[in-house]
Structure formats: C-alpha cells, structure tokens
Homo-oligomer: A and B are copies of this chain.
Amino acid sequence: MNEININQNIFEQNEQVAAHNRAWLKERQLTMVNLMASPGAGKTSLILQLLKHLPQGLSAGVIEGDVASSVDADKVTAAGWPVVQINTGGGCHLEAQMVGQALKQLNLSGPGLIIVENIGNLICPVDFNLGESLKLVVTSTPEGDDKPLKYPGIFAAADIIAINKIDLLPHLDFSLEKFSQAVKLLNQQAKLCPVSARSGDGVVSLLSTMLKS
C-alpha cells in the first residue's frame, strides 16, 4: 500500500514559501513579527500601542488574520496604519502563502516593521512558519499562570513572550514567578516582557526588545 504523507507535504511546502517570504523581507529591510495568542489576549490593542511608540525613520504595517470579520483591521485603519486583512473562513492558523500575498498587497518600503496578527489560537499557528524575523507570543494574566504547562508548543517556540493585562494583577491570582518558572522549563532563551496594552506600561520596553531581536 502506498501511503501519502499529507502533513509532511503541507509543512514542506509551507517552509519553502516561508523561506521565500524571509528573503523578500530581508531585501526590503523589513522586520516581520509573527504575533500569536489566545482569543482575547489583547493582540490588536497591543499592536496599536506598539505602533504608537515606533521610532522615527521606520515604516510600519499590519497583517490581520481572522477566522471572520474585519473588526481588528478596522481598528488599525482608524489608527492610520496600512493593513491587509486575511479571513481564513474557519481556518485555525495563517500559512506562509497567505502572508506572502498580503505582503505584496501591503507593499511597504523598508526599513520598517510588519506585525502579523495570527489567528487567536494557542495550538495550530506554531506549526506554520510565515517567514517571520521573530515569534512574539502574547499571554494575558486572566488566562492564568499555568498556560505554558498546557500549551507547551507555542511557549517553547517563542522568541519573546509578552504578559499582557498586568493592570488586572491586583484582581487575579496570577503569579508572575510561577509563570516564568513554567516557561523556563520549556524555553531558556525567550525574553519575558510584562505589559499593559490598556495603560501602556511596558510597551516601550517590549518594542525595544522586538527591534533588537
């Protein structure tokens, strides 16, 4: 019997397109961030805060991945930034091919920063490289400090982990120490950045970590 390894083919094809995206971005001096998080972790609010603090001389744009709706892209447009919306129509992650098309549509001149807001999902997006310069995982304090234990794949792959909604810490049982210990078991390299997209606390420090990476 001939077995067709469908997963392997999908991943291999995706890696090829991701490599193509990476070269395309490098040529144009564009840094691309693959932002991954749960639904409701505050991805869009954090993107808007980061762009507000962008150093002069850098261009910026956003690629918004969503199962449905243009709620997030509308917010980015309202803030005056160029944005391309990808609706997956039920798909649970972005793939390199979709992002490659969006990059051409965005058509940003470098040097600059492109933030890709992946689908709200802590599982599937990590299996698909997009050609990004770095993986930024955003977790939020109301989700609890045990998330790295329960979704190890995404926390193991992160270059930077932003811990959002620290303004809610007084009202929650979230322990930054427990969270950091759980991350350390999976990933010693990832930089942890506590942040509040609502108040702006920690945003400058997170942005500078992103631009240095």
B-binding residues in A (CB < 8 A): 6, 38-40, 66-69, 71-72, 90, 92, 119-124, 140, 142-144, 146-147, 149-153, 165, 168, 171
- Evaluate contact between A120 and B71: CB separation under 8 angstroms: no
Chain B residue nearest in CB terms to A90: B153
Closest approach, in angstroms, between the C-beta of A37 and any C-beta of chain B? Answer: 9
How far, in angstroms, from A120 to B39 measured CA to CA in the complex?
A: 10
How far, in angstroms, from A165 to B143 measured CA to CA in the complex?
A: 11
- Which of B71, B92, B146, B147 is close to A123, meaning CB atoms less than 8 Å apart? B92
- Which of B39, B67, B146, B147 is close to A152, meaning CB atoms less than 8 Å apart? B67
A119 contacts across to B, CB distance below 8 A? 123
A147 contacts across to B, CB distance below 8 A? 39-40
28 A–B contacts, CB within 8 A, in A order: A38-B39, A38-B40, A38-B120, A38-B143, A39-B150, A40-B140, A40-B143, A40-B144, A40-B147, A66-B150, A67-B123, A67-B153, A68-B149, A68-B150, A68-B152, A69-B150, A71-B146, A72-B150, A92-B92, A92-B123, A92-B124, A121-B121, A121-B122, A121-B123, A142-B142, A142-B165, A142-B168, A168-B168
Closest approach, in angstroms, between the C-beta of A146 and any C-beta of chain B? Answer: 6
- Which of B66, B120, B151, B168 is close to A67, meaning CB atoms less than 8 Å apart? B151
- Which of B39, B69, B149, B171 is close to A168, meaning CB atoms less than 8 Å apart? B171
Known contacts A67-B151, A92-B123, A120-B150; 9 further A-B pairs (Cβ under 8 A): A38-B39, A39-B151, A68-B152, A69-B149, A69-B152, A92-B121, A120-B122, A121-B123, A171-B171
A140 contacts across to B, CB distance below 8 A? 40, 142
Chain B residue nearest in CB terms to A140: B142
Chain B residue nearest in CB terms to A168: B171
How far, in angstroms, from A72 to B92 measured CA to CA in the complex?
A: 24
How far, in angstroms, from A140 to B142 measured CA to CA in the complex?
A: 9
Chain B residue nearest in CB terms to A127: B90
What 6 pairs between A and B have smallest CB-CB spacing? Answer: A40-B143, A142-B142, A92-B123, A38-B39, A69-B149, A39-B122
